[in-house]
Amino acid sequence: MKILLLSAVAAMTLPTPTDAAALSDAIKADMPQLMALYRDLHANPELSMQEVRTPAKLAPEMKKLGFAVTERVGKTGVVAVMKNGPGPVLMIRADMDALPIKERTGLPFASKVMVKLPDGTETPVMHACGHDTHMASFLGTAQLLTAMKDRWSGTLVMILQSGEETGEGAKAMLGDGLYTRFPKPNYVLAFHDSAMLPAGVIGLTPGYTTANVDSVDILVRGVGGHGAVPQATKDPIVLASRIVTALQTLVSRENNPLDPAVVTVGSFQAGSNHNVIPDEAKLQLTDRSYKPEVRKLLLDGIQRIARGEAIAAGVPDDRMPVVTIREDQHTPATFNTEKLSNRAHELFQQHFGTERVTILPPLMVGEDVGRFWLGDQAIAGTLFWVGGVPKAKWDAVAGDTTKLPSLHSPFWAPEAETVISTATEAMTVAALDILKKG
């Protein structure tokens, strides 16, 4: 049955949009296999840059389809290349990593995986961001495009990327020669499941779609002592509290209100006893922006405010705060190339109908896929979203997603079959348009 359906797809003519019924039928024939893969990946998640079992499972599948496959690119990434005549180079990316979260979805194939972190502590692991749906769709798209080779011309590069959650993976693959060892793309496509859209609805954002994300540590140093004699100390808890409050003025008073920015202090650690003023307090921050100049304003401002508040508190020069910007964890903003994203929006509306395609506002989350075309005018790239909220749950809260599990929630369980089938169909339609003959 599957072979017959794929043959029917391969035989269709390609005025765009691709014949929806034939393509949908072919995907339905593949869904039992893709759902089995999804359930296996979901039950066996792996943390960022530690993906071993996952690429070992998927790389052979790509080889069977006729791709030239290279493993361990950027540590654990996979690059699969299929050359099919003259034409542009299209790269399709899926991410592989999971999160250190204990799953609470109640799914029969829920993850029970426990791993040790570098410091020796154990943590549960869960695909709480839906990357398992991304990989299942990745294989589904590869199978369809392979079966339809007579309908397109060019080079297809499909990559499985590690370390998206930590912002390491794209950088590592590029640093390991992704664009020198393999064909450099003219176009890059990726998708992400969404907890903000009903299952099967596609969202696009021309321009900025995800944010610059930075992690910053501040070691606030004071002079400790007895809680009964604060005048003999320089209280780092009070100083750190002043820093936390002052940091918000970066957004409210220094940044142009038309340029989005966020500064969040996610961790404040200090002291160990009721009547002891400690020597130190530790802050962990995230700041987010879209424009490079706004990112610079925030990072410069964090350092200035930390030092300025310490001076105002009378902290000695040798006890000034230590501000560490974690460049290794920086994720740059993803800017969807407008011509490509507008074309994808038009194609998806034609193929799925206007009720299943929407323009989304930009989000302040991070996604490192934008590195693959950042600052390179020769590459057009687009990240789109595929809704995963089951319709019954969406209707029950009248679309108020604040009442539903979000990405990275231990309860996040997308309607996987709908996400995988919709994403596979959308990715195939977009790929055939980019690689169309003539």
Beta bridge partners of 159: 79, 93
Classify residue 374 by its DSSP letter. Answer: T
pLDDT at 88: 98
pLDDT computed for residue 1 by the predictor:
37
What CATH number was assigned to the domain covering residues 2-211+333-434?
3.40.630.10
Report the C-alpha gap between 239 and 216 in whole angstroms. Answer: 17
Which residue in 264, 268, 254 sits closest to 301, CA to CA?
254
pLDDT reported for residue 71: 98
Q: What pLDDT is stored for residue 3 in this prediction? A: 39
Query: How many CB atoms lie under 10 A from the CB of residue 146?
Result: 18
Q: Do the strands 276-277 and 225-226 form a parallel or antiparallel pair, or are they unpaired?
A: antiparallel
Topology at the third CATH level for domain 212-329: Alpha-Beta Plaits (3.30.70)
Q: Residue 51 — φ and ψ, nearest 5°? A: -75, 110
In this structure, the strands spanning 357-359 and 202-204 are parallel
Q: What is the C-alpha end-to-end distance of the chain, expressed in Å?
A: 31
Numbered ranges of CATH 3.40.630.10 in the chain: 2-211+333-434
Of 31, 15, 41, the C-alpha closest to 97 is 41
Token couple for 225: 């002592």
What's the chain's length in residues?
438
pLDDT value of position 349: 97
Running along the chain, 438 residues long, what does each successive block of 10 average in pLDDT? 41 48 92 98 97 98 98 98 98 98 98 92 97 98 96 98 96 98 98 98 97 97 96 97 98 97 98 96 98 98 98 96 95 96 97 96 96 96 98 96 97 98 98 94
Entry pTM: 0.91
Provide CB contacts within 8 A for 150, sequence distance 6+: 10
Strand partners, 152: 436
Q: Start-end ranges of CATH 3.30.70.360 in the chain?
A: 212-329
User: Helices in 204-235 by DSSP H: which ranges?
Assistant: none
